[in-house]
Amino acid sequence: MSHLPFHLNLIAQASGSLHAHLLLKTLDGSRLYIANSDLRKAWGQGFVNVRRLSDSDNVSAYVMAYVSDVDLNNLEGEFNNNDQNTPKRIIKGGRLSLYPIGMQIYRRSRYGIKEATKIKDTKKNIKSKYHIDGAKPSYYRKIDIKHKADENPIEIETEYYSRKKAKIAAAIAKINRNCNKNSSEDAELAD
């Protein structure tokens, strides 16, 4: 394998230290497996935890959540808390204040990782241009930022859309409209 595309995210912790999330993929789409013990040996800096992403269609939501949100249930770093009865307690955007100003929090390989398309326009125009009218975002977050307590907050909204999912949703809606239309016509014929 000549190239192994990667995306590295640095995650700020309340203690002031950093940890990293490394996302890897193969160029040919084959499955990639790296044992915890092999990565720990190669890393040489202590703890590692290798996991496969369960929803590879929405990697951006995974990255945004870890880079920006604070999980109040995981303040002590207990990664294996599998208690399904514990409600999630998340502070959206809470981690952003822990990064030094100007810090580059991600790095990526030159090969195999596409740079995100950055578009400046109205939401309505973007949704129309990319044919995602009526689509729901696959990821959404809203953060209110105040510089001083007496100032009005600045709202930052982030949304990610999957054009693939939007096409599927549009096709299902069309099928449903046709089914409803046919049902109405059948009901009129029965009268």
The pLDDT score that the predictor gives to residue 106 is: 85
Give the DSSP per-residue string, 138-151: SEEEEEEE-SSTTS
The pLDDT score that the predictor gives to residue 38 is: 92
Q: In the structure encoding, which two tokens stand for residue 94, read together?
A: 């809470």
The pLDDT score that the predictor gives to residue 80 is: 45
Contact 58, 82 (CB under 8 A): no
- Is residue 73 assigned to a domain? yes
- Is residue 143 assigned to a domain? no
Total domain count for the chain? 1
- Is residue 152 assigned to a domain? no
- Is residue 104 assigned to a domain? yes
- Is residue 93 assigned to a domain? yes
Cβ-based burial of 86 (10 A; exposed 0-12, middle 13-18, buried ≥19): exposed
- Is residue 135 assigned to a domain? no
Contact 7, 113 (CB under 8 A): yes
Closest CA to 133 of 142, 122, 117: 122
- Is residue 103 assigned to a domain? yes
- Is residue 149 assigned to a domain? no
Q: What does the alpha-carbon distance between residue 113 and residue 6 come to, in Å, rounded to a whole number?
A: 7
The overall pTM is greater than 0.95: no
The list of the chain residues with pLDDT below 50 reads: 78-81
Q: In the structure encoding, which two tokens stand for residue 113, read together?
A: 């990782």
Paired residues of 91 in beta bridges: 70
Q: Which domain holds residue 69?
A: 1-116
Could you read off the pLDDT of 43-90 as tens digits, one per residue? 898 888 888 876 566 677 777 777 787 777 665 554 444 555 656 677
